[in-house]
Structure 1
């Protein structure tokens, strides 16, 4: 049931789940309701464990399983000490490293009671809390702000579009070649505005490369002139629209806003489906072990049907 587009989405979704866990831990540290925040953190750990298993990230799956098991031990106490909060914040930081394929030196305990005799270092605790707050703020800023890549071999065009579109809700990053843009895709843009005629890697070949790497990433072409054949090819490759030169700034603002809203709506739908699949990962094992094969097959067929419909939606959007 796993496809490449799901793997692309998982990294961003994992960061959101890490953020939810950190928010819950900081809320408890401030003395806010334990039960509500416990459920928030537990769901994050549980979904991350299931997702890591789906994508065969064994080290991350094992790490999240241990964190989840230890965290569940705190439920009966209805509280977390500051030492325990530091422990789980460190655990989340190490999970982020494992997500990136890096090594982690996190030291687990056998049971949460093993931390009872650990003396709190107030300064270290404040530093960990402050670090978590900064990471959450940075992530929220990025999540709420759209990122647009603009690529044109004419620097003046990049400058015009940057000045026109950059605001509190939209960040613009400009490039003068398609190759340079491809090298920065790890920034996860929400939209690309690209010239068609460029040396080395023209707009159509850039779109072909993008469709191989991230088929769902929307692109709008900028051109002084485009043939009908080129337009048909661009649309068949997934281009979302065209902007003629000289550039009509009002039109650019309208079409970029429309395409980004549609793209984010699709991402939200995909996230909901992915979360459902992460939950199914554990449920599938339980149903198999319980001998409830009919229910298991029925759920699996329903999920495969949903995924097939999603593929069709992506192909025509």
Structure 2
């Protein structure tokens, strides 16, 4: 990826501009007749943790290979740190650290020997290599195992060694492909904390097929399916979308009524105005069940029931998780594909 030097101030100057660290417009990559990535637009601002999320085969790894210069796009334009790829690949990758899904390492080397070896491959001079290796060991909490053979380490520590190697030369952009695969729950927790800590000073592009891993560390999510971008927004926006898709549920007792469903409908008329697909049904003598789709209406509904002297046996809001939002988006995209095939 070209020599690196801690004295290169281009990174901080570029970061200060707040320009996109990665900007792809309409990139496509094919393997023979198979289109792995199709017409993808991707913008990752400096200082952001962006997650590529999608099932296996969605195109995440191919996208990462294009970003890291391993594959050129067949179509479209791609810039990394303001440098067009692949024309200025060397400059673009000078401050990019990459951790592939299977972290490369030499099991017969000691951790510190392996990191020094990787520093030599990057072209770091002796002084820079010494500083960079020390900083990477500290950042990845490897000080206690630096003299151990890589092959004797647990999966979690081997991943840390791979991440430490990606940090050599002090890159401002980290690209991590499925970095948590194979980690146990404790290793997952520790690795997430490490990523969040590194994100304080770097831009990170991370891929995973596990929603919880992306939600735990990312600011922004790009959801991919069958090589296409399905959604692109902040984690917070996806959470708010989940709230929009929630439902307010009430179980109401109506004393002295033979038709509790009608009584509840009359009492909540102002609350239900303009709301579609409301369900009100009698579930037992003097008890009705009410379900309102959308945002949380428990407060206004409770007031309306109290005003009508009806008794709320149950009144709460069910909020779908962010995972439900992503799954719904994927199902809609799959349904769209089916409809397109039928139409053609």
Structure 2 length-normalised TM: 0.28
Larger proportion of strand: 2
TM value normalised by structure 1: 0.29
Please identify which structure carries the higher helix content: 1
Structure number with greater CO (CA < 8 Å, separation at least 6) is 2
